[in-house]
Structure 1
Amino acid sequence: MDIYQFSLFKFDSTTLTLTQNGHVIELRPKSKLLLKVLLENSSQIVDKNQLLASVWSESVVGENVIYDAIKELRQALGDSPRHSLFIQTLPKKGYQWIYPYDTYQPETIINRVTMNKLKRHLIKIFAFAGIFIIGLMMVSYWLKVEPVKASKNLTGLTNDNLLSEIADSSGSGNATSNQSMANNSNRKPMIAILPFVNQTSHIDASWITLGLMDILENNVAYQDSFITYPSKGILSLLSQQSIKPNTLLDEFQLEKLAQTTSADYVVSVTVSGESNDYGAHASIYIAKDKLSVSRQIEDSSLGNLINKLNFQLTDRFIHGALTFEHHPAAMQDDFMVRIFAEGNEALLSRQHYLAKHYFEIVLQHHPEFLEAKFKLAKTEVELGDLNRAKNLLEAIIDSQNNTAERLRVDELLAAHSANLLGKIHYYQGHYDKSDSLFNYAQAIFEKHKNDKWLAWTYILKSRIAGFNRNPMLAIQHLNTALSLYQKIEHLRGQGWTLQFLAERSFEINQLEQAKLYLEHSLAVRNRAGNQLGVAATLVKMGAYSAIDDKQKALKLYLQALEIYQLVGDKNAEKVGLSVLANFWIREKNETKAAHFVDKLFENAKALQNEKVTLDAQNVKINFLLMKNQVSEAKALLKEMISTSDRLGYLALNKIFVKRLESVERLTKADSE
């Protein structure tokens, strides 16, 4: 029997064990057997009858069991039927394994297996010893803690006062599940987020069931006011109770899950509808009162619905009032609470001018409300006013540094502000200042052991290393970020980091390594249900394919644009339009190039964003030069130089200046 190695996976055909980077991936026995059959017959198409005979020979079953097993394998490998990387479906024929692999005999690793067994025994010994010691410490701690006062009853809670009620009760624990933890008033509330129930016309879209669950978990984790129960643990608990992910839980099941996880709140969401008519029913189960509160959200676009949903659950349902707890004067102003919440909703739905209006109203009444300053700074970055954003962020960092008694949330807010300010300095070409700010944020995130945002900081630091022509340091930073994301099982972060590793590998002429990183990025993003990430990877794969296979590149670009349009994110859609416009410009196809350039400007107009307009104009310069309309290109470049200078995009401004100089030299050479 052989061990198969492909991408970052290994499959032992003797023990039927699938691992990724040494971590065992749990599969049902029949799915393991099916994987073995596909690998052993990778040179040919395996039809359904052959699969039934090889895997289910001892029982009489229908073809549905094959579909379920294939689906489970694809989820485990991060594969997709639309963008097949490992398992290809051939309609009316069967399935075929298409990814190349290496094989070797288990005997060659017998010593390593023995060592691994020894390690496992040692780990068990230390684990039991550790648990015993921790148990003694916890008992001694609990004996010292005073019980907290009972919080008020939430019976009859309505949607309108849900925000403040959750904030008032956020210090309480789940009395029925873990009384000792409930007695610790310093414990952050625990939130368990269930897989989304998919009742849309996209019934097989795992990105709705699991991907949106992951997105919401990330958004809640960002706030740092709660602890989120790991999604992998939720899926494991559901599996133990024979509950499929795409299942709506009743009150009894919610109560049982809350007890098992010690969760204070359990979030469940049902998404329904079809094209141009989508709805989401969001519900929060409050464990201590055994009560659920809910809200219905609707939109014609699935992408917009998801944006609204994220806002309702993270900023209004969960986080909104807690933000104000750190600014008591604002907390007492109910009208400002609502205005701040509206600003958050506008920002998430990309209504940036409206968001700016709301945040400015809040700051007029409460000028020292740091969270509102940070949100306004983010809005100004989106609108392209980097100079004002910079002033706001510098005020936040100065305020935090001058505060004698630092709250945890304030210090982390300063770290987030430093990262955003560092990005602004990067855009303006002040790379030393960027590096200093990223180091400042890194120290805070390391202090608080916040691996998620520490990983993001390393990604930002890799940009500085890349600019300083130190690709190996950039790759080192990215590998650190990847390790941190893998440690906390953050699939979205892994997907982006792998794509950035591909870009750096390409810069040092390691094209095959770059392609391998992109394949793994695509697999991870498929597994996470991150469709925008999948589209971003397809765009990058298209760019590398264009070197020797233009038709393949075009196909990948079109697939990416289709995903962007399906999700309904205009800001992301501009990427797909840009690459297609530039593709047809390089091919000197004026008609098709003009079509996508026009679409790009329609997109920029819809977003009402000057930075996006600059990006569209940059593509139009290529189009004008293709048509030898040099005078028009020069005039447009001068306009872009003026706009980028006004907005504060100094690095971009320098690029436009150099481009104008290049066009003028071209004009001079032609005249001579």
Structure 2
Amino acid sequence: MLLFRQFRFDPERLALYRGQTAISLRPKVAQLLNYFLTHPNQLVKREQLLNALWQHGEFREAALNQSITELRHALQDNAKSPIYIKTLPHQGYVWICAVKADSNNKRRLGVKAAIGLVAIALLGGVYSYKSVSIPPAQLQEKAQLLIHPMQNHTGVQANAWWGYALEGTLRERLKTSFHLIPKSQTPDYLNKPEKVPPQQLVLSIKPMQQRYLLQASMAGRHAQVLVEELDNNFIEIADKLLDSLTTNTSRSVTKLNKVNGLSDYYRGVQALNEHGPILAKSYFEAALTQTPDHLPSRLELARIAWGQGNIQLAKHYFNGIDLQTAPYTLRARYHLYLGTFQKVLGEFQRARLSAKNALVMAEQSQHIELMASTYQLMADVAWNTLQWQDYTHAMSAAHALIGSRSFAYSEAQRSFYLANPPAAGPQQKNLVNLSQSKKVLEGAIQYYRQSAQRIELARSLFAYGQNYLVPVSESESSLLEALEIAKESGEQYLTMQVLTYLGFYYIQLHQGEKALYYLEQVALVQAFKPALEQLSLLKAMAYMDIGLTTNRHTALKRAQQLFESLLSIDTTSDTVRANVTLLLGWVALKQGEIDKSQMLTNAALEAYEAGGLSDAMSYAKYTQMYIYLLRNEPDKALKLMDLDRDKEAHLMLFYSSVAAHLTNDEQLFVKTQEMLGKLNNSQALLDQLERFKYQSQGDAKLIAELLDAPYSVYCQSKWILE
């Protein structure tokens, strides 16, 4: 046992304790701590750590940064005034805290020093020890293997289920020998030729004289197996293939028992990926009829049930799952599915606990995809509960595991909150790598168009349509295609998500009537509280948009009623309550009620500050600036200016320029005008500044006529119709 300050660390179990309390660490973070403790007061270069702990992998640097952050967080260490880990810029790290061995463990420590560190490969999940007594082969990280979906040349689409079953069996057999690349990452590898390619297992099947010929190739080896019929023989066939393809590779020889209903289960998996839940449901139910305790089928039925809006049936299936003998991977998937269900219901504390349980199970199985999905669920929960530090931590962890793909799907579906109302989000939005996500999604769409996996195509199109770097003309077509697929497949929850986003999308384009057309199509059960709240807010915004752009008093009145209704509901979230307050301030501003608008805007600003909603604070601030300009109080407007923090906020710079001109501060006027000119889509605002310079000053009516109001661009939307 290694002791430092109030902590104890067991190097054999990789367990950290503070007093009698165990501190949860990811295996990789525990390994990093172990390395530091066995190298105290030494300069440890980053390359040392990368070579020792992350020998391979595309995101080694990001993984190290994330692990250092997690370790400091667990130890409550401050990077600026460290107690444990000191950073030497451009050099590395030094463990500066005294370390001593428990007297009862000195002999064990000596053995440990001889062995060195425990290396747990982030992507491999294999425990290996650096020691002269260990064969070199065991020190190597597992090779990556990409198993392609089986090419079905039988001419019968219904036979595709057998390929899913064969692939599942092969994955089970090969998981101890290779790092298996998750199926969802296949587009990444196929569309990035500059990457070091992994080994690939290619499968195809075709008819041959009333039988089937299965062909496979891997690492230069080829195998053929004649299959009499496509039934539950996939376990036997998988073993025959691997005997030919992996002669010199050790692999799992665990006996895989045949289970009644497996063919129906795999038919359900195929249907779920290619056709949607309606068809898949009948297959999973058939599998349960034959094997009532088949947990994978029950778990998929639980997810299908809540996705179809059947809350009670989903709870029935979840409650009927006994995990005592289930493998870690299935346990992780159970907690992940349950946590997602709880998040949709607005049960965020329960969802957080389920996510933690899922992460523990996923780490036990070293299933990278499940770990990343769990971190993304944690990020979703943190986002909804305004826990920005937890959100940043979770998304950083997901990025360290699977790179930009973690943002391509999860972050795309939050980005419209981050940059536009309904406004929410942490100040640190550097993680939103929309550029890289766009590339990932382009590759995914291209791949899924060529495959039969239409549900994944719909999800990729949906995420692509939300990416701000995608031209409006492309994003609209992507969203509409995603909607068409979701409707055809019976994916009701996905359909709801796409319809809701389309409502927001057309609000951004000031097409309120079109927004309402899609929002009115959303069918939701009352249990989906967060989604219902979002839908109510967007409907109110659509009416507000109609009123603002057409001067229709009835539309503004309807928007006001819907906003006030949201404020009257006790369960309305703090974020939505703050947004509604600001939006009501905009309505009042349009109606000429300046005092009321200022009161509401001040209340919104206080709420944003309390919730740590840094981006949204700028919306309230530039609304206040506009009100001060209307009142001919430019000095007060300038006091709200923060050019460092708000240098990308169009209206903050725009109103600052106006205020600078009104106070005859020519130097500030030139500076803010130049900063505004560097932003995309700023020409219309610059033209207004030029016209304003030559008009009489201090006239509120003139200001209202010449200058864009805070609501005119819907919080700096950067979209352009192309």
Q: Same fold by TM (over 0.5)?
A: no
* TM-score normalised per structure 2: 0.42
- What is the TM-score of this pair, normalised by structure 1? 0.45
Higher Cα Rg: structure 1 or 2? 2
